[in-house]
């Protein structure tokens, strides 16, 4: 999955305003006030330069707001790519297909399975999923594509929309902990340590990028689907 690896920091001029009655303080006090203002301003700039969100990440919602804030002005709106999709069947056999995908963010994804001329695929748009087989469309039904939401839409739509979608799918945004994944520190939302059954998503702490989702399989709720995003690269 090709995504942004890093985004150059974009900073606008930061102006510092304060009003104070100079008659009420001494000259030494004025100097201390100015120095304190400079130190606070320097700390804010240091946080921005380090890519650390100024607000405290204390739950899933504040994490989503931090993710959106980090990339909202830099994340792409459209993307096309081809991937090899392999399904591992219970009988030990594998099925491989070439998927041609096109995104229009937020919320729109077209997948052509095999040659587009064959008319097989799926369309996610306006909160609904429509399947196509041999050029014939099924009736659309409500559908939230969580990988699309967590991996892409989170950066391109208002955070409240993302929060509502994720809560609506049964993720507990009040649960947040830290862990490690592929050698990187991550935030885990939705599950306690050791719980690999509850709905949860993992976000790399340093770059605030989605890396993993665990949830019941859509076709068989008795099974668990473990979806992963890896090898982020800059476009």
pLDDT tens digits for range 92-123: 899 899 999 999 999 999 999 999 999 999 99
How many domains does the chain contain in total?
A: 1
Residue 210 in domain = yes
- The answer to whether position 199 is within a domain reads yes
pLDDT at 55: 60
Q: Structural domain of residue 153, as residue ranges?
A: 10-29+57-234
For the stretch 14-51, pLDDT in tens is 222 222 232 333 333 333 333 343 443 444 444 444 44
Within a domain: 159: yes
For the chain, how many helices (H) and strands (E)? 5, 12
Q: Does residue 44 lie within any of the structural domains?
A: no
CA distance 224 to 145: 16
Note the helical H segments in 60-172: 60-71, 146-148, 154-156, 159-168
Q: Is residue 42 part of a domain?
A: no
In a domain, 102, yes or no: yes
Q: Helix 159-168 and helix 60-71: axis angle, to 10°?
A: 140
* 46 assigned to some structural domain: no
Lowest-pLDDT range of 49-58, 66-75, 116-125, 151-160: 49-58
| 2 lies in some domain | no
Where residue 155 sits, what CATH number does that domain have? 2.50.20
Say if residues 144 and 153 touch (Cβ distance below 8 Å).
no
């Amino acid at each position: 999955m090709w995504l942004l690896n890093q985004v150059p920091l974009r900073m606008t001029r930061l102006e510092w305003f304060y009003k104070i009655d100079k008659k009420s303080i001494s000259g030494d006090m004025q100097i201390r006030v100015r120095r304190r203002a400079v130190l606070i301003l320097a700390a804010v700039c240091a946080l921005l330069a380090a890519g650390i969100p100024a607000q405290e990440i204390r739950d899933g919602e504040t994490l989503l707001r931090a993710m959106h804030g980090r990339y909202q002005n830099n994340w792409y709106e459209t993307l096309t790519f081809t991937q090899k999709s392999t399904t591992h069947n219970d009988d030990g056999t594998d099925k491989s297909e070439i998927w041609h995908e096109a995104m229009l963010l937020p919320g729109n994804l077209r997948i052509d399975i095999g040659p587009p001329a064959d008319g097989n695929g799926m369309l996610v748009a306006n909160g609904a999923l429509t399947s196509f087989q041999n050029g014939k469309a099924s009736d659309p039904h409500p559908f939230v594509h969580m990988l699309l939401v967590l991996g892409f839409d989170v950066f391109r739509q208002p955070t409240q929309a993302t929060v509502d979608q994720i809560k609506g799918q049964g993720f507990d945004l009040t649960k947040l902990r830290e862990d490690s994944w592929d050698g990187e520190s991550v935030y885990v939302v939705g599950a306690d340590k050791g719980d690999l059954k509850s709905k949860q998503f993992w976000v790399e702490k340093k770059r605030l990028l989605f890396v993993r989702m665990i949830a019941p399989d859509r076709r068989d709720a008795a099974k668990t689907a473990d979806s992963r995003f890896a090898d982020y690269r800059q476009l």
